[in-house]
């Protein structure tokens, strides 16, 4: 097969069919990715404070009777879970849902009787609402798991709603 391809004239080997407008679409997608990266860079940088402990080891006593402790405990793990949940819900999901609801509403307003645009706007709007409800219902799932694991610190309350 490779021998057959190499025997073809160069014009036939390099013939690639590009759909009309594909380059413009690729440029738009690339610019959208760059723009979203710039917008969300501070959000992802704020995720640095998720781990509640430093891992510092404190040792007391002399060498034969020395005891060492760390500030990372099981409660720090549960605090980490709470921090990750709050980061996802407050810093990522809620702003994206608000943005999607706004985009869906704008598309419905500018549809001007076009049923396709109206349907697209409704689809985006409803998907954002359903996603937001699922994100907020995730608290119930995490609460159930934490109770099943047997987390009893702070009276069993693993989080406090903001």
Give the model's confidence band at 8: pLDDT under 50 very low, under 70 low, under 90 confident, else very high.
low
What local confidence, expressed as pLDDT, does residue 48 receive? Answer: 61
pLDDT tens per residue across span 13-36: 555 565 666 677 778 888 888 887
**121 and 105 in contact (C-beta within 8 Å)?**
yes
CA distances from 20 to 17, 23, 26, 27, 31 (A): 9, 8, 12, 13, 19
Q: Choose the weakest-confidence range: 41-50, 68-77, 94-103.
A: 41-50
Q: Tokens 């396709």 appear where?
A: 116
CA 84, 90, 92, 94: dihedral to nearest 10 degrees? 140
Give me the chain's average pLDDT, please: 76
Tell me phi and psi for residue 108, to 5 degrees: -65, -35
Cα-based distances in Å from 23 to 37, 41, 153: 21, 27, 57
Q: pTM for this one?
A: 0.57
The arithmetic mean of pLDDT across residues 143-154, rounded, is: 74
Split at pLDDT 50, 70, 90, the class of 129 is very high
Phi, psi of 63 (to 5 degrees): -55, -50
pLDDT of residue 161: 39
């Amino acid at each position: 097969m490779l021998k057959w391809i190499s025997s073809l004239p160069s014009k036939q080997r390099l013939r690639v069919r590009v759909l009309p407008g594909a380059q413009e679409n690729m440029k738009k997608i690339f610019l959208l990715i760059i723009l979203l990266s710039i917008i969300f860079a501070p959000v992802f940088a704020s995720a640095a404070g998720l781990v509640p402990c430093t891992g510092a080891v404190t040792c007391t006593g002399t060498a034969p009777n020395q005891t060492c402790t760390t500030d990372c405990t099981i409660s720090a793990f549960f605090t980490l879970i709470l921090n990750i949940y709050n980061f996802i819900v407050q810093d990522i999901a809620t702003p994206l849902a608000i943005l999607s609801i706004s985009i869906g509403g704008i598309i419905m307003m500018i549809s001007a009787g076009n049923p396709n645009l109206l349907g697209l706007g409704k689809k985006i709007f409803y998907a954002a609402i359903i996603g937001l409800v699922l994100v907020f219902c995730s608290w119930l799932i995490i609460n159930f798991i934490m109770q099943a694991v047997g987390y009893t610190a702070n009276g069993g309350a693993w989080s406090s709603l903001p």
